Amino acid sequence: MSNWQVIFAIDDLEYIPSDFTILDVTFYKMTKSKCGDLPSCEDVPQSTLENRFKEWQTQIFEHTGKKPKFDEYEKHQAEMKERVLQRFLDKICASTGVNASNKDEAIQKGRNKIEIALNLLRTYKSGFELRSPLNGSAKNLVDGSGTVTFESSWYRGKPSPWKYRLDQNDLKNLSKEKSILDPLILNPNPSAMSNRISRSMRWTAMATQETDQEDKIIKYVTALECLFIKEFTKKAKLLAERVATIWTNNYANRNSIYKDFYRLYNLRNAIVHGGSYTITSKDRRTMDHVARNLVFVIATVVQANSFSTIDNLLSWLTLKKGTWTPPPV
């Protein structure tokens, strides 16, 4: 196993005055002075690279009658390195360290860590339609070898001209969320409840990116199920009851929230099972607001009380529920 530095370029974020770190991922602007962070070579022998160049030159010139420019290999390599740099230059880049046996494992582990940090950003602030990163690199910190990848499978048309900007207030607020999530998410042996929070954040993040309104509702409900549901029956009533219990201590308000979320869960069922339904802008805003906020609320409760399982959380919710009884629906 070796230590690797993994970097992905994030097209949709603007540069802010200072670097920042979220869940062990550092975000910074890539400049020419920092291009040493990128791997200086492919993890293949120099002779292989030269042979690739010769084959490429032969294919280009074989029908022209001109002589292949084999002596321009070094110029070609310099141009290729500059093209790689342009994929990252002046963009916000996300960088993290991983232990891996090879470059492919490093890229996968690094991408997973960076995606979790991006999911926190997406969950934190609605409207951050951050695409999954396209351009990534992995550099072996022992010998400098590595690779640069361009993941066309994630390509979804031209990058958005809109850039999302984090300001200092965002970073200040995120530092609070980070202090709560760090011990849960970054734990090498996360608890079952920590895993539920991670999955909930992932589903919430996917919902914020979703343009299809039906899929958006389905993903928000799934995010809440990750936090609150272990049973296989009566999910609509249980989810509505638990959301209402944690959202407010006011019994009248709980009744209103309970009815709303019971209806929204059944809206999800109608979407999934082909029933008739209507999605309003209020439904969408409600699911967005509640799901994004409850990820952090539950994380705070779990971290403060050292809950390791959903049973711990449900016992706590029973005490918080008090004498309140959900209204008939």
> Would you tell me the crossing angle of helices 213-228 and 192-209 to the nearest 10 degrees?
170
Residue predicted with more confidence, 165 or 98: 98
Q: Each residue of 123-134: pLDDT tens digit? A: 887 667 777 777
| Identity at 297, one-letter amino acid code | V
Would you give the end-to-end CA distance of the chain in angstroms?
57
Give me the helix-helix angle, 235-247 and 281-305, nearest 10°: 70
Q: What residues pair up with 28 in beta bridges, in sequence order?
A: 93
pTM, two decimals, is 0.80
- 209 vs 264: CA distance, rounded Å: 20
Min mean pLDDT across 63-72, 168-177, 194-203, 301-310 is at 63-72
The answer to whether residues 109 and 98 touch, using CB atoms and an 8 Å cutoff, is yes
Please tell me the predicted confidence (pLDDT) of residue 152.
54
What's the average model confidence in pLDDT over 233-257? 96
The average confidence (pLDDT) of the chain is 86
Q: How confident is residue 41, by pLDDT bands cut at 50, 70 and 90?
A: low
Q: At 63, list the tokens.
A: 């029908």
| Average pLDDT of the segment spanning 71-100 | 81
* Res. 22: pLDDT tops 60: yes
Spatial distance between the Cα atoms of 68 and 43, rounded to a whole number of angstroms: 26
CA 199, 202, 205 angle in degrees (round to 5)? 150
Burial 43-82 (b: 16+ CB within 10 A, else e): eeeeeebeeebeeebeeeeeeeeeebeeeebeebeeeebe
> What contacts 319, CB < 8 A, 6 or more positions away?
none
- Mean pLDDT to the nearest integer, 309-315: 97
